[in-house]
Structure 1
Amino acid sequence: MTTYLDYNATAPVLPEVADLVFKLMVEEYGNAGSRTHSFGATAKQAVEKARRQIADVVNADKSEVIFTSGATESNNIAILGLKEYAEKNNKKHIITTAIEHKAVLEPIEHLAKQGFEVTYIKPDTSGVIDVESIGKALREDTVLVSVMHINNETGCIQPIEVICNLLKEHDAYLHVDAAQSFGKLSNELASNRIDFVSASGHKLYAPKGVGALITRKRGFLKAPLRPVYFGGGQEKGLRPGTLPVQLIAGFGLACEMAQKNSAHWQKHCSTIKEKFLTLISELGGKVIGENTSPFVANFYIPGVNSEATMVMLKDVIAVSNGSACTSSSYQPSHVLTAMGLSEDEIAGSIRVSWSHMTDEVPFDAIEDKLRMLI
């Protein structure tokens, strides 16, 4: 049986979460917007409970949680939603990194086509951004700084706390794409200097199709976001559409369970990572990136192509050689390219990712298969 090791792409749903989702689909299936009967009231209670559970992950107020379909939509709202404010106040400069997810880079590119200026900060081969580069790029008209917390391809953890300190004296809005860290490595996300946090349910053992955007207030002032589409006025007018109560409740429960079990999950996953790093070293491979998450490793073995590796391993482990969201493009990874890796290193890179639900990894079988390629 093939062992699933592509958790950075998506994760299975926790059994407790699946049970709750099923119950809300077939028994308590009311619309949270229905005000005339108990089904609607029960649904609304489930949504508000989840709002609190999600807010607790980053020490936010539940009123600051906006439900979305996932981090991609959250990113779009955080970025495109600032357009009107930026134009009105003549603040049309954005700082981001060259290693962001396409769900951040493409909305920013859309604004660039409409007259915004964008500064892209590149990392070195460590995959970690130099915060001083952000400081040097800051301008009076900088409206937004957008930095991913944990990279989906390399697992490199960006110094969010240092970036928050850098921006204490600047009024630019700070957006963090936390799809890979929300509920897993959340401590730095609790900073009040982070204005927007994007999260996805399916990265945290909840169903696909639900996410959140945390929109922190500055004092008593709401962030000047505007909706990017319209129709219904749900979620304080920022994200219209009937709320998927069952998915939202599932996401909330997953967040609560992550809060309770985070330390144990990290310890288990760190043990798996140590074994992977030992195996990679014994095979003469090299790990890509530094300061990486305990849930992932990206590596290459000199002279071995990633496509050949995945074919060889397909009956042993399920892995990836890039982001699942862009895998159909067959383009070299923009993340690894921005890090300055060689063509051979990029062509050979493999991402393995796991979770606390990963019981056994067939390390001996992986080694046997890879040695056939060396």
Structure 2
Amino acid sequence: MPFEEGTPVIAYYDCSATTPVDERVAAEVLRLMTAEYGNAGSRTHSYGRDALDTVTRARRQVADVVAASPDEITFTSGATEANNLALLGFEPEGERSNRRHIISTTIEHKAILEPLARLRDRGFDVDLVPVNSNGRINADDVAQRLRADTLLVSVMHANNETGVLQPIDEVAAAMAGHPAWLHVDAAQSFGKELEALRDPRIDLISVSGHKIFGPKGVGALIARRRGYRRPPITPLLVGGGQERGLRPGTLPVPLIAGLGLAADLAVREHDTRRKECLRLRTQVLDGLEPLNLSINGDTTTALPHVLNVSLPGADAEAVMVAWRELVAVSNGSACTSASYKPSHVLTAMGLREDRVRRALRISWSHLSPAVDWAEAVARVRGLAAPIQ
């Protein structure tokens, strides 16, 4: 195990699955769990009022990342719940307005594709836009699919397997004047790619705390108003008035504060973090160059801390075993890796089956240590025949 005393520490390069918690965030979460543990719904004493103040501050910190209003933030258990709320929550509106057409893409996370499958089973027309070999959609393909009965468009910002950024600014521009709501799954990009998510045409944004050095178990759905109108989402849960009734339940104040602080730090340290990630990217590419690797996805339009590569020598599983005491990487989404199936993302890009089987996702952060990539190369060589 990487954390047993006296054993070498394995370099953690799986930050797309989850990031380490920033020490400052962890300290704040612990303080609120042990010293200021009031319920934000208790208004009759200082413990409750202090907890409410903490939540209010975190709401503002999350909103500031995307230039939203604090009252447009709904805290959730993570981006998966936010995605479900954003999609399934529109079902009653679609039935009321007789607008049952939804546009999304073939490379979305399962937290989008599975709710969409449920809506399709309930009579909605789900239209998935394909991607090119670089892993990007064309905004014109979205525009051409818009219809009078289009209710919702949902496009991820950064793909969780390749790191490739989708042209959400172009999608937003293409939807100008159309009443359809635009949702962006920003689990991988929130706090990392700032300007694109500040476009006011993006109506809904899903956020995850544990992708930005915050705690697991907390996220948010950002739902911008159009004038005075909020997105017509129906809650999936009932039983309390918290979060304007949209997401009832006792607010996890320590986790919310952790998300808020992590969001604030992400903005304040954005430039230095990005610079360090780019430096590490050069190290990864230079270190693995002797293997003549194949990069999956357009590196010119990708997050600076993610690479999806197919290495010659062996299937991804064999490479991960060879590297298990050196560096921790993955072969795709952490949500589906327990029962591995060929990546639907890479398959949608038109990659050959053998290249998909050899694909690894390497993702790091500004906190990541250096890796002995020469040793990593040595461990891969000789495992199998190289990719042709």
For normalisation by structure 1, the TM-score amounts to 0.98
State how 1:61-140 maps to structure 2 within 5 Å: 61-140=69-148
Does 1:267 pair with 2:275? yes
Which SS does the other structure have where 1:169 is aligned? coil
- Equivalent residue, structure 2, for 1:161: 169
Tell me which amino acid in the other structure corresponds to 2:141: S
- Equivalent residue, structure 2, for 1:364: 374
1:168-207 CA-to-partner distances (Å, cap 9, x unmatched) read: 1211100000000000112100000000000000000010
- Equivalent residue, structure 2, for 1:308: 318
- Equivalent residue, structure 1, for 2:41: 33
Does 1:193 pair with 2:193? no
Confirm or deny: 8 A CA contact 1:280 1:286 kept in the other structure.
no
Cα separation, 2, equivalents of 1:22 and 1:253: 13
Tell me which amino acid in the other structure corresponds to 1:251: L
Cα separation, 2, equivalents of 1:319 and 1:372: 20
Q: 2:23 aligns with which of 15, 24, 41?
A: 15
Confirm or deny: 8 A CA contact 2:208 2:219 kept in the other structure.
yes
Cα separation, 2, equivalents of 1:323 and 1:87: 33
Confirm or deny: 8 A CA contact 2:40 2:51 kept in the other structure.
yes
- Equivalent residue, structure 2, for 1:47: 55
Structure 2: state its 5+ residue gaps. Answer: 1-8
Which SS does the other structure have where 1:168 is aligned? coil
Confirm or deny: 8 A CA contact 1:164 1:194 kept in the other structure.
yes
Confirm or deny: 8 A CA contact 1:86 1:143 kept in the other structure.
yes
1:101-151 CA-to-partner distances (Å, cap 9, x unmatched) read: 000010111000000001111101100111111111111101010000000
Cα separation, 1, equivalents of 2:220 and 2:82: 6
Confirm or deny: 8 A CA contact 2:215 2:259 kept in the other structure.
yes
Tell me which amino acid in the other structure corresponds to 1:31: N
Confirm or deny: 8 A CA contact 1:154 1:351 kept in the other structure.
yes
The Cα of 1:303 is off from its aligned counterpart by 4.9
Cα separation, 2, equivalents of 1:303 and 1:172: 47
- Equivalent residue, structure 2, for 1:146: 154
Confirm or deny: 8 A CA contact 2:11 2:369 kept in the other structure.
no
Cα separation, 2, equivalents of 1:315 and 1:37: 52
Please list every run of at least 4 consecutive aligned residues from structure 1 whose deviation after the TM superposition is greater than 3 angstroms: none
Which SS does the other structure have where 2:47 is aligned? helix
Tell me which amino acid in the other structure corresponds to 2:218: V
Does 1:60 pair with 2:64? no
Structure 1: state its 5+ residue gaps. Answer: none
For normalisation by structure 2, the TM-score amounts to 0.95
Tell me which amino acid in the other structure corresponds to 1:273: R
Confirm or deny: 8 A CA contact 1:277 1:287 kept in the other structure.
no
- Equivalent residue, structure 1, for 2:11: 3
State how 1:337-356 maps to structure 2 within 5 Å: 337-356=347-366
Cα separation, 2, equivalents of 1:33 and 1:243: 8
Which SS does the other structure have where 1:175 is aligned? strand
Which SS does the other structure have where 2:220 is aligned? strand
Cα separation, 2, equivalents of 1:69 and 1:301: 36
Which SS does the other structure have where 1:297 is aligned? strand
The Cα of 1:10 is off from its aligned counterpart by 0.5
Does 1:329 pair with 2:332? no
Cα separation, 2, equivalents of 1:275 and 1:14: 23
State how 1:184-263 maps to structure 2 within 5 Å: 184-263=192-271
Tell me which amino acid in the other structure corresponds to 2:223: T
Q: What percentage of residue pairs aligned between the two structures are identical?
A: 50
1:53-100 CA-to-partner distances (Å, cap 9, x unmatched) read: 000000000000000000000000000111111111111000000100
Confirm or deny: 8 A CA contact 2:277 2:364 kept in the other structure.
yes
Cα separation, 1, equivalents of 2:32 and 2:78: 20
How many pairs does the alignment contain? Answer: 374
Which is further off, 295-304 or 275-284?
275-284
1:10-37 CA-to-partner distances (Å, cap 9, x unmatched) read: 1111011011000000000000001111
The Cα of 1:359 is off from its aligned counterpart by 3.0
